[in-house]
């Protein structure tokens, strides 16, 4: 009996030492051996009715389970960690370390309300004064994230004002007024359940996994492709690791499109994507690697170069990630939502007003690309875009004159003349309404060059539409974009105290909300808009 106790003591000491040294896998292995011996001892103690030994063993077992949970937590093995905490709570439901550990696990799982309950219960232990500062930190963090998750009242003003430098803001999971339905575009999609204004926040979610790397633009193509292949390999490994650790993650990934038989996929309830849903709602299945690779090929999102430039990041930094619910948003060349990357989270907000029942759409590539360029990019993605914009431009772009316009871009010709000929062409081709906005967006580079040149405005100003009219039509066609806002703000700056300054500023503020969302203070947004004009 003494040998058994000595062995258990040695195991407990070794496991604790390994935990302190952050050798978590070995610590788990040693604690598992110790916990098994504890269970055996407790079983024997019950037979011998030794209540003193029974009480000691149960306390030791409770602490061992809590420490093993801590090790699992550090390895992001959340289901196993939660299971250990629950077992420890059955032994002592007010155990401070267990409540603290369980709160941290639930916080990592974005279950803010349940985590808050754990931290509140732990705070009732008056004997843990030395840990009160740590506990209060978790309590405040939990309250903040629970509020954000419930209300969507995010504010990233300071970060944006600082040109996206420094530590990114702390965000919570948030699902706004959206639902999953069958889509006429492709398979399933996200739809708004009520009218939403430009800038309204619709979704905030953290990536299952994300991989970033520095891939210099100046390196040879072969080296660049090799670096990107290395990124893709590391990304897949991260996804597989996450899927192995959590039934919920694995099951939700498997609900995403493989790019085949889109109409056969079930339409999952959006509530399944809420963090509070219990693990018992998800299947414990093996990972089908072929299916997983197809899913990642179709649903992974790239942090685009344009976003990187706008958000002040190194343009050589490339990233790829998987955001579960966001990946259900289908493509359109006249999108109504915009995505912003904040740390490992993606925020989706309306880039223009959206009516109830309307499907959310994102541009998978640059909305200011020409029709032929977008057509080629869509083929590379493995689909043919059938959005309204592509249908309109397909009919117009087959004209010989339009092909000539495309050849002029970037050839050093007078861009004012190109804009004039394009506007005249649209008049002859009977292009009306949104159609004008679509074509102007495809040639935005030309329009912006003209409207930002005082020389060209003096020369062509009386023969081409005013800048404000073109901006309105392009925003109506493709939503807000920093390049549109930049032209508008520079025009506003040139006019200074012009007669329509107030109205134009109101228009710029609305475009700014479409650009950054309604999650910024008004004064901050004004400052940021004027920064764009510089």
The proportion of the chain whose per-residue pLDDT surpasses 70, expressed as a percent, equals 91
Predicted pLDDT at 508: 87
What angle in degrees, to the nearest 10, is found between the helix axes of 132-151 and 96-108?
Answer: 30
Q: How far is residue 392 from each of residues 44, 191, 337, 418, 464, measured CA to CA in Å? A: 80, 24, 21, 20, 22
* 147 and 195 co-located in one domain: no
Q: What integer is the mean pLDDT of 431-439? A: 93
- Report residue 1's pLDDT band, with 50, 70 and 90 as the boundaries: low
User: CA-based Rg of the chain, rounded to a whole angstrom?
Assistant: 29
Same domain, 418 and 518: yes
Spatial separation of the C-alpha atoms in residues 196 and 177, rounded to whole Å: 9
Confidence band of 507 (pLDDT split at 50, 70, 90): confident
250 in the same domain as 354: yes
User: Of 410 and 469, which is predicted with more confidence?
Assistant: 469
pLDDT at residue 501 is higher than 80: no
Distance CA 340, CA 517 (A): 9
Q: Identify the pLDDT of residue 411.
A: 67
Domain boundary among 362, 396, 428: 362
pLDDT band at 381 (very low <50, low <70, confident <90, very high): confident
- Which residue did the predictor score with more confidence, 413 or 215? 413
Question: Which of 480, 483, 482 lies closest to 443 in space, CA to CA?
Answer: 483
- In-domain check, residue 380: no
- The whole-number pLDDT of residue 320 equals 92
Sheet holding 174-175, edge to edge: 174-175, 201-206, 345-350, 337-342
Q: Please, which pLDDT band fits residue 21 given cuts at 50, 70 and 90?
A: very high
Predicted TM-score of the model (pTM) = 0.88
For residue 373, tell me if it sits in a domain: no
Please indicate, yes or no, whether residues 328 and 181 belong to a single structural domain of this protein.
yes
* Beta-carbon-side half-sphere exposure of residue 451 (alpha carbons within 13 Å): 28
Whether the CB-CB separation of 75 and 24 falls below 8 Å is answered with yes
Whole-number pLDDT of residue 110: 95
pLDDT at residue 318, as a whole number:
78
Is position 424 within any domain?
yes
Average pLDDT of span 172-199 = 95
Task: Confirm whether 382 is domain-assigned.
Answer: no
305: pLDDT strictly greater than 80:
no
Average model confidence (pLDDT) across the chain? 88
In whole angstroms, give the CA distance from residue 191 to residue 103.
34
151, 173, 189 — which closes off a domain?
Answer: 151
d(CA 306, CA 482): 10
* Whether the predicted pLDDT of 500 surpasses 60: no
- What string of DSSP letters covers 274-292? STTS-GGGS------HHHH
- pLDDT at residue 130 tops 90: no
In a domain, 368, yes or no: no
188 plus 252 within the same structural domain: yes
Query: Is 90 exceeded by the pLDDT of residue 492?
Result: no
Establish if 58 belongs to a structural domain.
Answer: yes
Query: Residue 432 in contact with residue 475, Cβ under 8 Å?
Result: no
Q: How many domains does the chain have?
A: 3
Per-residue pLDDT at 79? 92
Q: Are 311 and 342 in contact (CB under 8 A)?
A: no
Are both 398 and 352 inside the same structural domain? no
pLDDT at 48: 62
Distance in angstroms (rounded) separating the CA atoms of residues 323 and 340: 12
Averaged over 2-27, what is the pLDDT? 91
Query: Residue 467 pLDDT > 80, yes or no?
Result: yes
SS3 111: coil
Q: Is the same domain home to 166 and 244?
A: yes
Binned at pLDDT 50, 70 and 90, residue 97 comes out as very high
What's the domain range around 493?
387-532
How buried is residue 341: exposed, middle or buried, by Cβ count under 10 Å (0-12/13-18/19+)? buried
Task: Provide mean pLDDT across the span 46-58.
Answer: 73
* Longest CA span, the chain: 102
Question: Which of the residue ranges 29-33, 410-414, 419-423 would you say has the lowest mean pLDDT?
Answer: 410-414
Q: Is the pLDDT of residue 278 over 90?
A: no
Alpha helices in 152-220 (DSSP H): 157-161
Check whether residue 140 and residue 56 sit in a common domain: yes
DSSP structural state of residue 322: E
| pLDDT tens string 201-249 | 999 999 999 998 877 666 666 677 788 888 999 999 999 999 998 889 9
User: Is 511's pLDDT higher than 50?
Assistant: yes
Pair 200, 342 in one domain: yes
Q: What is the pLDDT of residue 424?
A: 92
Instruction: Taking residues 313-333, report their average pLDDT.
Output: 85
Residue 86: CB atoms within 10 Å:
13
Which of 134, 151, 168 is the last residue before a domain boundary?
151
pLDDT of residue 226: 81
CA distance 422 to 399: 12
Give the pLDDT band of residue 47 (cuts 50, 70, 90).
low
Closest CA to 291 of 236, 233, 209: 236
pLDDT band, very low/low/confident/very high, at 355 (cuts 50, 70, 90):
very high
Same domain, 83 and 182: no
Does 269 share its domain with 402? no
* pLDDT surpasses 60 at 312: no
Q: What is the structure's pLDDT at 385?
A: 93
Contact 402, 425 (CB under 8 A): yes
Which CATH number covers residue 48? 1.25.40.10
pLDDT at 354 over 90: yes
What confidence category does residue 299 fall into, taking pLDDT thresholds of 50, 70 and 90? very high
Tell me, what CATH number does 257's domain have? 2.170.270.10
238-267 confidence digits (pLDDT tens): 999 999 988 899 999 999 998 887 777 889
Q: According to the model, what pLDDT value does residue 281 have?
A: 61
The pLDDT value given to residue 375: 93
C-beta contacts of 327-330 below 8 A and 24+ residues apart: 327/256, 327/299, 327/300, 327/301, 328/180, 328/188, 328/189, 328/190, 328/256, 329/189, 329/190, 329/360, 329/361, 329/362, 330/183, 330/185, 330/186, 330/187, 330/189, 330/359, 330/360, 330/361, 330/362
Residue 309, pLDDT > 80, answer no
CA dihedral of residues 461, 464, 470, 473 (deg, nearest 10): 160
Domain assignment present for residue 226? The answer is yes
Helix (H, G, I), strand (E, B) or coil at 340: strand
In a domain, 379, yes or no: no
User: Do 225 and 357 fall into the same domain?
Assistant: yes
For the chain, the first-to-last Cα distance in angstroms comes to 80
Alpha helix (H) residue ranges in 382-453? 388-397, 400-408, 415-428, 434-442, 444-451
């Amino acid at each position: 009996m003494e040998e058994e106790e000595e062995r258990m003591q040695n195991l407990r000491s070794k496991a604790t030492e390994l935990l302190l040294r952050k050798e978590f896998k070995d610590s788990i292995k040693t604690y598992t051996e110790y916990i098994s011996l504890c269970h055996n001892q407790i079983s024997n103690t019950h037979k011998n009715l030794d209540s003193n030994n029974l009480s000691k063993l149960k306390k030791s077992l409770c602490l061992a389970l809590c420490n093993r949970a801590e090790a699992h937590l550090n390895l992001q093995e959340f289901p196993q960690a939660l299971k250990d905490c629950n077992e420890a709570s059955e032994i002592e439901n007010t155990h401070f370390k267990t409540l603290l550990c369980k709160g941290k696990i639930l916080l990592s799982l974005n279950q803010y309300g349940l985590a808050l309950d754990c931290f509140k219960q732990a705070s009732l232990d008056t004997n843990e004064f030395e840990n009160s500062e740590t506990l209060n930190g978790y309590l405040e963090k939990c309250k903040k994230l629970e509020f954000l998750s419930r209300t969507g009242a995010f504010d990233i003003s300071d970060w944006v004002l600082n040109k996206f430098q420094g530590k990114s803001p702390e965000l919570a999971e948030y699902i706004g007024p959206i639902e999953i339905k069958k889509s006429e575009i492709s398979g399933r999609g996200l739809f708004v359940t009520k009218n939403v204004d430009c800038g309204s926040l619709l979704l905030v979610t953290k990536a299952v996994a994300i991989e970033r790397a520095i891939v210099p633009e100046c390196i040879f193509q072969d080296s660049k492709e090799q670096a990107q292949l290395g990124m893709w390999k590391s990304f897949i490994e991260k996804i597989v690791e996450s899927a192995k650790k959590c039934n919920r993650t694995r099951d939700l990934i498997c609900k995403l499109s493989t790019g085949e038989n889109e109409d056969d996929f079930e339409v999952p309830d959006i509530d399944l994507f809420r963090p509070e849903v219990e693990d018992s709602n998800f299947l414990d299945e093996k990972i089908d690697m072929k299916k997983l690779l197809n899913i990642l090929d179709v649903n992974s999102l790239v942090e685009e170069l344009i976003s990187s430039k706008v958000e002040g990041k190194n343009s050589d930094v490339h990233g790829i990630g998987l955001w579960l619910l966001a990946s259900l948003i289908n493509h359109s060349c006249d999108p109504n939502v915009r995505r912003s990357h904040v740390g490992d989270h993606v925020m989706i907000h309306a880039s223009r007003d959206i009516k109830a029942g309307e499907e959310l759409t994102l541009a998978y590539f640059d909305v200011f690309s020409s029709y032929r360029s977008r057509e080629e990019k869509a083929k590379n993605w493995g689909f043919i875009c059938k959005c309204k914009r592509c249908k309109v431009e397909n009919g117009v772009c087959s004209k010989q004159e339009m092909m000539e316009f495309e050849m002029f871009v970037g050839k050093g010709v007078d861009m004012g003349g190109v804009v004039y000929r394009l506007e005249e062409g649209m008049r002859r081709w009977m292009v009306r309404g949104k159609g004008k906005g679509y074509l102007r967006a495809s040639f935005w580079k030309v329009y912006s060059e003209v409207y930002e040149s005082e020389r060209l405005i003096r020369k062509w100003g009386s023969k081409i539409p005013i800048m404000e009219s073109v901006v309105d039509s392009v925003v109506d066609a493709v939503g807000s974009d920093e390049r549109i806002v930049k032209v508008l703000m520079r025009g506003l700056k040139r006019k200074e105290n012009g007669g329509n300054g107030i109205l134009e500023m109101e228009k710029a503020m609305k475009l700014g909300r479409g650009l950054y969302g309604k999650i910024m203070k008004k004064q901050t947004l004004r400052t940021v808009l004027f920064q764009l004009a510089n």
